[in-house]
Amino acid sequence: MIKEFLELGEIVGTHGVRGELRLNPWTDSPEFVKQFKTLYLDGMGERAVRVVSARPHGNVVILKLNGVDTVDDASRLRGRTVYMKRADAKIPEGSYFIAELTGCEVRDADSPEKIYGTLTDVSATGANDVWHITDAGGREYLIPAIPDVVVNTDVASGTILIRPLRGIFDDED
């Protein structure tokens, strides 16, 4: 399901003495964080804060937020989750965030009444993502998230249609 506010990362520490923060981004790349002018300190969007600067530094992002001007101010935010507004994110058409895919019901593209389970996790393997599908009995199946398998993804309705590779779900029949 499409969510208005999504987790972007966690503040893991301070950087320097002018209130800069070290953000561990939960994204494919620290570069992704640079696009935001406003971030949120809660998942409801009620605590908006203006981004003064954001720059990748290895695997983290050095983040300067408006009103966070000292190391003490920054220290108080350590351990806090930072959120982004989904509408502010620039992503390719047809792309989704893992948080939106998680919880979607996975059905057979040719027989939609057949439910394989729920998408519970996504693993990045390099070549393609692997989706973890958990059935009603708690058994987990792994499917490659490739066009030959994933026929339709409709996060608004919470449904994914797949045409699984032979052998993945065969023991169910």
60-65 vs 115-124, strand pairing mode: unpaired
Using the predicted structure, report yes or no on whether residue 10 has a pLDDT greater than 50.
Answer: yes
The pLDDT of residue 92: 83
The pLDDT of residue 65: 97
Q: Please tell me the pTM assigned to this model.
A: 0.76
Question: Which domains, and CATH codes, for the chain?
Answer: 5-86 (2.40.30.60), 98-166 (2.30.30.240)
The pLDDT of residue 173: 45
Shortest CA distance to 109 belongs to which of 71, 147, 70? 147
Output 13 or 124, whichever has higher pLDDT: 13
Structure confidence by residue, pLDDT tens digits, 101-122: 999 999 999 998 999 999 999 9
Structure confidence by residue, pLDDT tens digits, 132-165: 999 999 999 999 999 999 999 998 899 999 999 8
d(CA 84, CA 98): 14
Six token digits for residue 160 = 């994914």
Using the predicted structure, report yes or no on whether residue 8 has a pLDDT greater than 90.
Answer: yes
Confidence label for 172 from pLDDT (cuts 50, 70 and 90): low
Structure confidence by residue, pLDDT tens digits, 48-72: 999 999 999 999 999 999 999 999 9
**Average pLDDT score over the chain:** 92
Confidence label for 28 from pLDDT (cuts 50, 70 and 90): confident
User: Can you tell me whether residue 30 is helix, strand or coil?
Assistant: helix
